[in-house]
Chain A
Amino acid sequence: EAGVVQSPRYKIIEKKQPVAFWCNPISGHNTLYWYRQNLGQGPELLIRYENEEAVDDSQLPKDRFSAERLKGVDSTLKIQPAELGDSAVYLCASSPRTGSYGYTFGSGTRLTVV
């Protein structure tokens, strides 16, 4: 079974430029999460989807971040414009459904804003 697939693995951009990350969750997993992780720290939730609905986006900086999961399968997270402080690893995770234990994480996208 394929795991959670994220792309790209690495991205270097100049500040004020846009950037997008893509995530394909495990087949059949209804719940999808985007997290941001700074070096050596725990992941912080940005947004949670149940199918195509964003059920928790309270931690998403909506002035510059946006996300979508149009068909309830894969998802895209976008930053526009990027700032230096956005440099981090962006992790996608999925789980079978709300209330199930254990997320499966992708390998993440390491973003560097210069």
Chain B
Amino acid sequence: TQLLEQSPQFLSIQEGENLTVYCNSSSVFSSLQWYRQEPGEGPVLLVTVVTGGEVKKLKRLTFQFGDARKDSSLHITAAQPGDTGLYLCAGARAGTGNQFYFGTGTSLTVIP
């Protein structure tokens, strides 16, 4: 059983479109991370957010941590084929020594 549910599970869009991926839970997290994973490789860390309401930007990617620290979103502006991959959120609950539990994943395909 995974603590974090991501939506949508699959997403296929045209190059240049915008998209948002959601990561939701009923649990409170002390910190939350987003990873991107390409086929045949391990996940690669994109960002860590630790404060409720925090917003971080990484070029065309905007990450937000919910005020209650139970949810997060990833917004991509003007998607490019290089953004294709599996996006994973991962949350750490207080008192677990920053043991991160991964979400269910969102598979994104950007069509040229």
A28 at the interface (CB under 8 A from B): no
For the residues of A in contact with B, the DSSP-based class is loop
How distant is the Cα of A51 from the Cα of B42 in the complex, in angstroms? Answer: 22
Chain A interface category by residue count = 20 to 34
Contacts of A101 in B (CB 8 A): 31, 33, 48, 98
**A43-B86 in contact given A105-B43, A108-B42 (Cβ < 8 Å):** no
Q: Residue on B with the closest CB to A110?
A: B40
Q: Residue on A with the closest CB to B103?
A: A42
How distant is the Cα of A55 from the Cα of B99 in the complex, in angstroms? Answer: 11
How distant is the Cα of A103 from the Cα of B100 in the complex, in angstroms? Answer: 9
Contact of A102 among B33, B88, B101, B105 (CB under 8 A): B33
Contacts of A45 in B (CB 8 A): 99, 101
Chain B interface category by residue count = 20 to 34
B102 at the interface (CB under 8 A from A): yes
B78 at the interface (CB under 8 A from A): no
Contact of B42 among A41, A99, A102, A106 (CB under 8 A): A106
**A107-B45 in contact given A40-B105, A48-B99, A100-B98 (Cβ < 8 Å):** no
A17 at the interface (CB under 8 A from B): no
Contact of B86 among A40, A100, A110 (CB under 8 A): A40
**A42-B41 in contact given A101-B48, A102-B33 (Cβ < 8 Å):** no
Are B98 and A42 in contact, with the CB atoms below 8 A?
Answer: no
Annotate A33-45 by CB proximity to B: 1 below 8 A, 0 otherwise: 0010000111111
**B29: shortest Cβ distance to chain A, in Å?**
12
How distant is the Cα of A91 from the Cα of B86 in the complex, in angstroms? Answer: 15
Annotate A69-93 by CB proximity to B: 1 below 8 A, 0 otherwise: 0000000000000000000000101
**A102-B103 in contact given A4-B42, A93-B42 (Cβ < 8 Å):** no
Residues of B within 8 A of A (CB): 2, 4, 6, 9, 31, 33, 40-45, 48, 86, 88, 90, 97-105, 107
Residues of A within 8 A of B (CB): 4, 35, 40-45, 48, 55-56, 91, 93, 98-108, 110
